[in-house]
Amino acid sequence: MTVLAGLDIGGTKTHLRYETPSGEPVADAVVPSETWSATPVAEAARWIADLVERHRPSTETVVAVAAGAQGCDDEHHCAELGYALTTAAGVPAAVTNDAALLVPAAGLSSGIGVISGTGSIAVAVLPGGELAFAGGWGWVIGDEGSAPALVREAVRAALTRNDAGDTTDVLLPLLMEAFGVGDAVGLARTVNDLPTAEHWAPKAPAVFAAAARGSHDARATITEGGRGLATLVGQLMARGAGVTDVVAAGGVMTSQPGLYAAFRDAVAADHPGLTVHLLGDPPVTGAVALARRLQT
């Protein structure tokens, strides 16, 4: 039997799915992404091809591969990696950014995809067929609304309030608990000594817990995170995206209703003609849909 292989390669995990060309599910696998890097291109292509082969059902033959990958953040890079993957896998292949999987995964032919997870980015296919990106600069200077960026801004807000002598907000103690420190100085030291997205991202639930307990600073952080993601949508619309739908996904967006609500409300305020959807199916569904197009 022949199968199509689709991959959603995120910052934390990679989801593989194998389906028949007619759409019958064959196999799924979820594996860690810690060794993934979108560069160098040849090594990235081999990484994908090896993963597809390693998890391929033994009785099936893969006839097309499509992947949405974190770190593939411009059209030239995606095209180059797709060409290298075609060579490495020996079958037709295509690579795009992982956010570009959201629109086909939602069953739509056009739209803007917005991911908020370990990172954040917005992607649209412009009328001429080219990919357009907004955001995705990395958590140190951007990635608004992502898990590490929310933690970054929450820590800043909590420490600023502490410096003013105000101990009424619950955000600081919940962040201290999450980071395993006993005071504000320890929090500042820890976040500076361990400045990695992988260390900060798991602490994001503390921000949402603080918001649920009435923290003004946590709620403001979440609201601003949603607005930052909506700004990415506006940037793509200004570049001619010309869509009516926005599809949101990613670990933070799908698991934290507060962020999704902040994002949806900000988009509605700025672009009342857009409909925002929270993706129900896994984004890898979009990768399989792209692989299917390679067969037509």
Q: Determine the average pLDDT of the residues in 163-184.
A: 95
Q: Is 164 exposed, middle or buried (0-12, 13-18, 19+ CB in 10 A)?
A: exposed
- 7: part of which helix (H) or strand (E)? strand 2-9
φ, ψ (nearest 5 deg) of residue 35: -95, 0
What pLDDT was estimated at residue 95?
A: 95
pLDDT at position 197 over 80: no
Q: Determine the average pLDDT of the residues in 132-136.
A: 88
Rounded to whole angstroms, how far apart are CA atoms 70 and 36? 9
pLDDT at position 196 over 80: no
Gyration radius of the chain's alpha carbons: 20
pLDDT at position 99 over 90: no
Total Cβ atoms within 10 A of residue 209: 17
Q: What SS3 state is found at 4? A: strand
Q: Determine the average pLDDT of the residues in 98-112.
A: 88
Sequence-ordered list of residues with C-beta below 8 angstroms from that of 58, at least 6 positions apart, any chain: none
Cis omega (within 30 of 0) for bond into 40: yes
- Supply angle C-alpha 138, 140, 143, rounded to 5: 45
Total Cβ atoms within 10 A of residue 127: 11
Q: Determine the average pLDDT of the residues in 104-118.
A: 89
Per residue in 24-50, pLDDT (tens digit) is 999 999 999 888 999 999 999 999 999
pLDDT over 70, % of the chain: 100
Rounded to whole angstroms, how far apart are CA atoms 266 and 98? 23
Per residue in 115-126, pLDDT (tens digit) is 998 889 999 988
What pLDDT was estimated at residue 221?
A: 97
Q: Determine the average pLDDT of the residues in 208-233.
A: 97
pLDDT at position 296 over 70: no
Q: By C-alpha distance, which of 105, 141, 109 is closest to 125?
A: 109
Q: Which domains does the chain carry?
A: 2-106+281-293 (3.30.420.40), 107-280 (3.30.420.40)
Per residue in 256-273, pLDDT (tens digit) is 999 999 999 999 999 999
What pLDDT was estimated at residue 137?
A: 83
φ, ψ (nearest 5 deg) of residue 65: -135, 135
What pLDDT was estimated at residue 151?
A: 95
Sequence-ordered list of residues with C-beta below 8 angstroms from that of 172, at least 6 positions apart, any chain: 158, 159, 161, 162, 184, 187
